[in-house]
């Protein structure tokens, strides 16, 4: 059980309230990650800012969700794997078989997404030491650019913040994500 309370738009510090209110009005609920991060408003602001920047990259919604799922699986973040499985399927149009493969720590059948997944995994596992890696060579051969390799790093940074925060917070899963529950193995 977490020793951190889940903040609401009413209980959170003033600087966190607009973010929680926007989430509640847009989604119909406040993701527990946001509610937990609101205990340190600058952490919540940083996460939302990173998310916004990652959404503006040249990667497609499916590619972005691939990055976020691979990082979350490798980091063993049960909350983020469930949340991004839900988002990938319901909001980004990622095919079920791709999500299933990523959740199992496998590469999807799609060669381009497989190269992206392999590169993302290498970035996480090697802590960014991938400049001369076969994973980068494969990513570039699959048609991604060097700029997009940096965009993957941005996505990994975003997920590292939320994955590690969720470990500390022991973030409970929102009921909205329950159908996508995942346990690290």
Asked if residue 74 is part of any domain, the answer here is yes
Asked if residue 159 is part of any domain, the answer here is yes
**95: domain range?**
17-180
pTM of the model: 0.95
Number of domains in the chain: 1
Asked if residue 7 is part of any domain, the answer here is no
Write out pLDDT tens, residues 147-177.
999 999 999 999 999 999 999 999 999 999 9
Give how far Cα 22 sits from Cα of 73, 100, 105, 125, 155, Å: 27, 30, 33, 34, 22
Asked if residue 113 is part of any domain, the answer here is yes
Asked if residue 94 is part of any domain, the answer here is yes
Asked if residue 165 is part of any domain, the answer here is yes
Write out pLDDT tens, residues 40-99.
999 999 999 999 999 999 999 999 999 999 999 999 999 999 999 999 999 999 999 999
Domain harbouring 114, CATH code: 1.20.1290.10
- DSSP string computed for 30-75: --HHHHHHTTSHHHHHHHHHHHHHHHTSSS-HHHHHHHHHHHHHHT
Could you say which DSSP state residue 177 is in? G
Neighbours of 1 (CB within 10 A): 5
């Amino acid at each position: 059980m977490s020793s951190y309370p889940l903040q609401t738009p009413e209980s959170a510090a003033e600087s966190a309230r607009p973010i929680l209110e926007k989430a509640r009005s847009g989604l119909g609920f406040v993701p527990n990650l946001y509610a937990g991060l609101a205990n340190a408003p600058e952490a919540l602001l940083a996460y939302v800012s990173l998310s916004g920047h990652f959404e503006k990259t040249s990667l497609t919604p499916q590619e972005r969700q691939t990055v976020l799922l691979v990082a979350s699986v490798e980091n063993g973040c049960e909350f983020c794997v469930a949340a991004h499985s839900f988002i990938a399927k319901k909001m980004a149009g990622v095919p079920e078989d791709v999500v299933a493969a990523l959740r199992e720590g496998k590469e999807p059948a799609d060669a381009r997404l497989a190269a992206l997944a392999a590169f993302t995994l290498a970035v996480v596992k090697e802590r960014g030491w991938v400049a001369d890696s076969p994973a980068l060579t494969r990513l570039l051969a699959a048609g991604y650019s060097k700029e997009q390799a940096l965009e993957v790093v941005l996505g990994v940074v975003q997920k590292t913040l939320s994955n590690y925060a969720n470990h500390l917070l022991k973030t409970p899963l929102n009921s909205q994500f329950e159908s996508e529950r995942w346990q690290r193995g």
